[in-house]
Amino acid sequence: MRFRFASLIALTAALPASAGTPTVQVSGWARPTVPGQSTAAAYLVIRNRGGADRLIALGSPAAAATSVHRTSIVGGVARMRPAGRLAIGRNQMLTMGTGGLHVMLMGLKAPLRPGTRLPLSLRFERAGIIRTFLPIQMSAPDAGHAAH
């Protein structure tokens, strides 16, 4: 599910502005990196307060490519595979975490530094584009903390 951020910008311009409260809300966090590290992971909580929807693409100006991956253990070995489009049912919540679903950021343009925020845009089939800024930190934020 590779997706170029420039394509996401073009898609944003083509979508109509929606009125009212968004039906999908996104929060989460990303791990810091060291100089020279080209990949990173981010973890999201997606709350869908509307009808069934599907995450179809995501992007960040901080990385050349982004995709959602799923980690699984096969024969005692951890493997990561692209997760594809993610369905999120009506009034459901999808939680990503270490050892499971996560956002892979590939081709980082600069290190992710603790105390800064990662811009991320997500495109949903029905809800359209959702933009958020994820805090860069060593571990998951306290319950109830949201990135805006």
Which structural domain, as residue segments, surrounds residue 54? 5-14+28-135
Query: Which tens digits make up the pLDDT trace of 128-144?
Result: 999 999 999 999 886 44
Q: What is the pLDDT of residue 140?
A: 87
Query: Which tens digits make up the pLDDT trace of 55-72?
Result: 999 999 999 999 999 998
**Is 23 contained in some domain?**
no
> At 21, is the pLDDT very low, low, confident or very high (cuts 50, 70, 90)?
low
Calculate the CA dihedral of residues 80, 84, 85, 89 and round it to 10 degrees: -50
**Is 22 contained in some domain?**
no
Asked if residues 8 and 123 have their Cβ atoms less than 8 Å apart, the reply is: yes
Residue with tokens 């089939």: 125
Tokens of 58: 């995501």
Query: Which tens digits make up the pLDDT trace of 102-113?
Result: 999 999 999 999
Q: What is the pLDDT of residue 48?
A: 96
Give the dihedral sign, CA 109/117/42/98: positive
pTM attached to this predicted model: 0.80
CATH number for 101: 2.60.40.1890
